[in-house]
Structure 1
Amino acid sequence: MKIKQKLKEYILEKEQKFIKHYFCCYCNRFISLINTHLEHFLPRDFFKNQQFSYSNIFVSCNDKKTCGHFKENKETSILNPSKDIFADYLEYKISDNGIEIVSKNNLGLKYKKICEDTIKILNLNERRLVNYRMNLYIQHVRKKVPFDYAEIHPILMNFLKKLQE
């Protein structure tokens, strides 16, 4: 087995697993071992000394229009999955487009900018992501289909549960 594959398995098992499923480090979508890639938070082109640092490597979905692939090799100032708890800075909001990710209102200017950059650079409100979240809302809140707790990230699950109340 390749080293990259083993590393991916290890990171998913130890860092990105909730209940029994794996989730993308950025968009929180359910992912599998097969359709993912190793994501260097600090780009290898700019931070060669961090290339093999465990705290710099995550597993991201393989979507070319969002997350790690969309971020590419850009040096950016965004929320770091190993240091920042996304739920402390970002939240879900129902809009005319669907369910979007927005920065929380109670943040200072510095973190407001970092959150806005995170959403933009990772394209977290890409149409398919917004629709995915809205479909979960329709399915589980409006139609009252029971949740499969294992396949929905806990942060999104909490948001949907609050809407049920």
Structure 2
Amino acid sequence: MKTLIIVAHPNIKDSKVNKRWIEELQKYPETFYVHQLHEVYPNEEIDVPAEQELIEKYDKIVFQFPYYWFNCPPFLKKWFDEVLTYGWAYGSKSGYKVGGKKIALAVSAGIDENEYHPTGKYKYTLEELLRPFELTFEYIKADYRPFFAYYGIELNSSKEWIEKSVPKYLDFLNSF
């Protein structure tokens, strides 16, 4: 079964690594369905029933986004708030439509991995900083899996550095 990749990037045309990941994923339409939120909803007006119907079609879902301001892009947060509704994603006998689905995050981080450490500049690991996502997915009874992160994009955005991320991301997705 295909994996749904929900991409939230507010400026994908100027992206380095996320744009490259999308280009690679689109080479495998039988394996991955790439759903770019900013492309589908340029005015950020979400068609909630359409998004819920899309989610229901897949057993494996990855949210791909750049990690900045210690969070996801605001439109992805809005998506979570509007799509993961009471009675559908949680809270009633007819809810939990996401329950049991494998869900993971694929994050591009501008900062080096060693900066996300108790002795690093930002004091916390990326795993700790991503805990609200983990709790959200646990709350809706999804099968949250370990995340994928590619670090250091701000410091090294060379074509070679970005290309190194592609097989790593594909390996992550194929083992998911």
TM-score range, shorter chain: under 0.3
TM-score, structure 1 normalization? 0.27
TM-score, structure 2 normalization? 0.26
